[in-house]
């Protein structure tokens, strides 16, 4: 849990660190600092995940643990070796591409990635739940395409201040907005509310649907006739 929190902080702080670092150091110096941090983080993650596993289990679990961090390390190493700052600015694009591949690949199977996440919270999805989750997965795929394209354009153009502002703030605001809209749409679609403040407010605005009674009355009237 602590490692996940630290990793999230590092990801969020990356654009700010790049913006401040490139203003003070060369790309090569900043790259070396990042490689040290990434190496320590990756080593800690491997040690925590592999602890208590036998050699066969370690081999099976190693690649899923290191594949994304290794991609990041490779990109930073390339920027360091070539002393080229634009490779450091491409990292948000790489993250969006990896997420896009993961979400899109799940659409080829019967269970989308969003449905897997949803079943962790509620194993019994309502009727239409899997179809809804598949649609949400497609929406996120579109978001990753657009988000990655904007981040890539700002990086290629070398607009460092705009790049830092977008990837360090605007992108997270857009993600939060998408989460919020999806949450409201989900509650409006299925009318299943929990005992939270947000759900109580939505339940007052969106009361649970009730089955129409006129159909039953009509059928009873017809049977009496």
Q: Is 86 left (phi over 0), alpha (psi -120 to 50) or beta?
A: alpha
Report the domain count for the chain: 2
CA distances from 158 to 59, 71, 86, 122 (A): 40, 22, 7, 45
Give one DSSP letter per residue of 6-53, joined into a string.
Answer: HHHHHHHHHHHHHHHHHTTS-HHHHHHHHHHHHHHHHHHHHHHHHTT-
Please check whether residues 74 and 149 belong to one and the same domain.
no
Does any domain span residue 214? no
- 224 pLDDT more than 60: no
Please check whether residues 203 and 99 belong to one and the same domain.
yes
Give one DSSP letter per residue of 87-149, joined into a string.
Answer: HHHTHHHHHHHHHHHHHHHHTTSSS-HHHHHHHHH-SSPPTTHHHHHHHHHHHHHHHHHHHHH
pLDDT at 192 (0 to 100):
85
Does any domain span residue 123? yes
Please check whether residues 156 and 204 belong to one and the same domain.
yes
* CA–CA gap between residue 180 and residue 4 (Å, rounded): 23
pLDDT at 215 (0 to 100):
43
Of the chain, the percentage scoring pLDDT greater than 90 comes to 56
Domain boundary among 71, 89, 107: 89
Does any domain span residue 217? no
For 4-13, the pLDDT digits (tens) are: 676 677 778 8
* CA–CA gap between residue 121 and residue 196 (Å, rounded): 15
Q: What range does the domain containing 54 cover? A: 1-89
Does any domain span residue 222? no
Please check whether residues 4 and 36 belong to one and the same domain.
yes
Please check whether residues 63 and 121 belong to one and the same domain.
no
Please check whether residues 72 and 99 belong to one and the same domain.
no
Does any domain span residue 221? no
Please check whether residues 60 and 157 belong to one and the same domain.
no
Does any domain span residue 218? no
For 87-146, the pLDDT digits (tens) are: 999 999 999 999 999 999 999 999 999 999 999 988 889 999 999 999 999 999 999 999
């Amino acid at each position: 849990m602590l490692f996940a929190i630290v990793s999230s902080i590092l990801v969020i702080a990356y654009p700010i660190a790049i913006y401040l670092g490139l203003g003070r150091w060369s790309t090569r110096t900043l790259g070396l600092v990042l490689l040290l941090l990434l190496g320590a983080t990756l080593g800690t993650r491997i040690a925590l995940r592999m602890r208590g596993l036998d050699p066969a289990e370690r081999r099976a679990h190693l690649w899923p643990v290191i594949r994304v961090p290794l991609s990041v390390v490779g990109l930073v190493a390339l920027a360091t070796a070539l002393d080229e700052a634009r490779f450091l600015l491409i990292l948000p694009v790489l993250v969006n591409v990896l997420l896009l591949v993961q979400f899109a690949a799940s659409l080829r199977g019967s269970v989308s990635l969003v449905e897997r996440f949803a079943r962790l919270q509620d194993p019994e999805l309502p009727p239409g739940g899997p179809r809804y989750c598949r649609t949400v997965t497609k929406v996120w795929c579109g978001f990753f395409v657009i988000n990655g394209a904007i981040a890539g354009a700002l990086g290629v153009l070398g607009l460092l201040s705009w790049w830092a502002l977008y990837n360090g703030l605007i992108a997270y605001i857009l993600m939060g907005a998408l989460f919020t809209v999806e949450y409201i749409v989900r509650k409006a679609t299925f009318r299943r509310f929990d005992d939270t403040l947000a759900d109580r407010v939505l339940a007052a605005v969106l009361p649970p649907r009730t089955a129409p009674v006129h159909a039953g009355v009509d059928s009873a009237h017809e049977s009496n006739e």
